[in-house]
Amino acid sequence: MNGGRNYNGPKVRKSLALVKLNYMRETPQKLSGTSSSDGSKNPAGMGTIRREDSSATMQSRTLRDFTFSPDIMNIDAQWITGFVDGEGCFFIGVNPHHEMTVGYQILPEFTVVQHKRDIQLLHALKEFFGCGVVRTNHGDRMAYRVRSVSHLIEKIIPFFEKHSLKSKKRQDFEKFRDALLLMQKGEHLKQEGIDQFRRIASQMNTCRER
């Protein structure tokens, strides 16, 4: 009873069904926007993480990036010079002190002040130079300070002699260095030496609180 046609009809449909089944199983459809160059399976716009070259990333960082970055200590000499040009201060204090033979104490200080939210920048400087302290300056301001004469002469002065400041702060640095060299000679213990420090201090930025 027309068995051939009845047999052949269902056989064709069954074959097509198998082909479609195999196609769906073995040939998955590619999603639009899928990247194959870096192995990512995420479609475009779905939060794919880009892995950028580390050197390019470092060059594009801002001060805030260094504040929160886990590799905060990877600051270099060029960055420090630019940072101190804008935020640093070289100061020579000539303060009355009754216990000193000449009646005055000379207090040299290298300082960088930042808002407390950027305190890690100051700790990065402390780590880089290997000296100084990070303390509250005033209000919500924090300061990195180096006051030790030996640390100033052995670490701070040589650094900025090698890596020159670009702004007018260079002049303050040179006067600051001159004052420290006078201290090395013991001039801060002589009355005539105090007059030299006064002249130097009067020619420097007063480093008013910011």
Q: At 82, give phi and psi (nearest 5°).
A: -65, -40
Domain presence at residue 72: yes
Domain presence at residue 121: yes
Looking at residue 171, its pLDDT comes to 95
Higher local confidence (pLDDT), 129 or 206: 129
Instruction: State the greatest distance between any 2 C-alpha atoms of the chain, in Å, as a whole number.
Output: 132
Domain presence at residue 67: yes
Domain ranges, residue 162: 63-202
**How many C-beta atoms surround the C-beta of residue 113 within 10 A?**
19
- Give the torsion sign (CA, 24, 27, 29, 34): positive
Residue pLDDT, tens place only, 65-107: 444 443 455 789 999 999 999 999 999 999 999 999 899 999 9
Question: What is the C-alpha separation between 108 and 183, in angstroms, rounded?
Answer: 10
CATH number at residue 79: 3.10.28.10
Q: Tell me the average pLDDT across 116-141.
A: 96
Q: How many independent structural domains does the chain possess?
A: 1
Q: At 194, give phi and psi (nearest 5°).
A: -60, -35
Domain presence at residue 25: no
- Angle (CA) 58-62-63 rounded to 5° is 115
Q: Tell me the average pLDDT across 99-120.
A: 95
Domain presence at residue 41: no
Domain presence at residue 52: no
Looking at residue 206, its pLDDT comes to 67
Question: What is the C-alpha separation between 112 and 86, in angstroms, rounded?
Answer: 9
Domain presence at residue 210: no
Domain presence at residue 55: no
Residue pLDDT, tens place only, 28-61: 444 444 444 444 444 444 443 344 444 444 444 5
